């Protein structure tokens, strides 16, 4: 299996606090993605990266920012968490265009 | 915009067949299919790269109609292990954006 590690696996936080989720990969993959998954909405793209320092917005990017300062790490930040950001977050990567995605195990985030 | 999958949910008895459709409003360059079990990450099933290409193994196969911007997943003689949520996935042409379909929940009963 591809080495995609998400941290933390679970987090409970309060409304208004900043939260950073980390995705770390050991595959030297160029492309990295953050998705959120909510019941009835499937997997929705938040932000993605196509190289170091190259990032772009997905469909549900409001309230989120990302950074990729090195190939192996892609950080997702909630500047001021809201209850609507309670969700399961998945990181995914692939090395080439049209290649299948490799997923991390997910992060369960609860914003109270 | 997410590709739309149909049906949204389906219940089968063991041994029955099912078809899951994925339809996009944008041109599809390739289509991937994944299955996700509850509480787990999605698992890759297959990729279709060319229009009209059919791929699969044993009882799960798929087709891709590039002209119609559609793909279909065929599950034959379903087994209990087929239960889960199925997603089509695709990379939008001209971008590096990878998006998923709306998902189809499939449950196979004994």
Tell me whether residues A106 and B101 touch, CB distance under 8 A.
no
The β-bridge partners of A60 are none
Q: What is the pLDDT of residue A8?
A: 97
Please state, in angstroms and rounded to a whole number, the distance separating the CA atoms of residues B80 and A5: 30
Please state, in angstroms and rounded to a whole number, the distance separating the CA atoms of residues A56 and B71: 27
Tell me whether residues A42 and B2 touch, CB distance under 8 A.
yes
Q: What is the pLDDT of residue B1?
A: 81
Q: What is the pLDDT of residue B95?
A: 85
Q: What is the pLDDT of residue B57?
A: 67
Q: Chain-wide mean pLDDT for chain A? A: 95
Q: What is the pLDDT of residue B19?
A: 97
Residue numbers in chain B where pLDDT is lower than 70 = 51-58
**Overall domain count for chain B:** 1
CA distance B31 to chain A (A): 8
Q: Which residue of B has its CA nearest to A6?
A: B41
CA distance A105 to chain B (A): 6
Q: What is the pLDDT of residue B18?
A: 96
Tell me whether residues B98 and A92 touch, CB distance under 8 A.
yes
CATH of the domain at B46: 2.60.40.10
Tell me whether residues A42 and B41 touch, CB distance under 8 A.
no
Tell me whether residues A50 and B47 touch, CB distance under 8 A.
no
Question: Which residue would you say has higher pLDDT here, B71 or A40?
Answer: B71
A12: enclosing H helix or E strand: strand A10-13
Q: What is the pLDDT of residue B67?
A: 84
CATH of the domain at A25: 2.60.40.10
**Overall domain count for chain A:** 1
Q: What is the pLDDT of residue B27?
A: 82
Question: Which residue would you say has higher pLDDT here, B102 or A99?
Answer: B102
Domain that holds residue A82: 4-111
Q: What percent of chain A has pLDDT over 90?
A: 89
Contact in structure between B17 and B74 (CB atoms under 8 Å): yes
Q: What is the pLDDT of residue A1?
A: 60
Domain that holds residue B75: 4-109
pLDDT exceeds cutoff 70 at A2: no
In the numeric block, which tokens belong to residue B86? Answer: 């199925």
Q: Which residue of B has its CA nearest to A34?
A: B98
Whole-number Cα distances in Å, A25 to A5, A33, A43, B29, B36: 6, 12, 20, 26, 21
Rounded average pLDDT over A27-44: 93
Question: Which residue would you say has higher pLDDT here, B91 or A36?
Answer: A36
Q: What is the pLDDT of residue A109?
A: 98
Q: What is the pLDDT of residue B88?
A: 96
In the numeric block, which tokens belong to residue B93? Answer: 């042409």
E strands within chain B? 4-6, 9-13, 18-23, 31-36, 43-48, 54-57, 60-65, 70-75, 84-91, 98-100, 104-109
């Amino acid at each position: 299996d591809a080495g995609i590690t998400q941290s933390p696996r679970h987090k409970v936080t309060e409304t208004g606090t900043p939260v950073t989720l980390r995705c770390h990969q050991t595959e030297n993959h160029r492309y990295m993605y953050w998705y959120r998954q909510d019941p009835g909405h499937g997997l929705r793209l938040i932000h993605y990266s196509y190289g170091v320092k190259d990032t772009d917005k997905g469909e549900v990017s409001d309230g989120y920012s990302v950074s990729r300062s090195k190939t192996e790490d892609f950080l997702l930040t909630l500047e001021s968490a809201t209850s609507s950001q309670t969700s399961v977050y998945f990181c995914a990567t692939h090395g080439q265009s049209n290649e299948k995605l490799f997923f991390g195990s997910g992060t369960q985030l609860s914003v109270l | 915009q997410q590709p739309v999958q149909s049906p949204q949910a389906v219940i089968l008895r063991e041994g029955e067949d099912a078809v899951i459709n994925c339809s996009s409003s944008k041109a599809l360059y390739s289509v991937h299919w994944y299955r996700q079990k509850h509480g787990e990450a999605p698992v890759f099933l297959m990729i279709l790269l060319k229009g009209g290409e059919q791929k699969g193994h044993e009882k799960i196969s798929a087709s891709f109609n590039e002209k119609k911007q559609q793909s279909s997943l065929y599950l034959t003689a379903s087994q209990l292990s087929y239960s889960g949520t199925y997603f089509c996935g695709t990379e939008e042409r001209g971008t590096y954006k990878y998006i998923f379909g709306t998902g189809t929940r499939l449950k196979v009963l004994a």
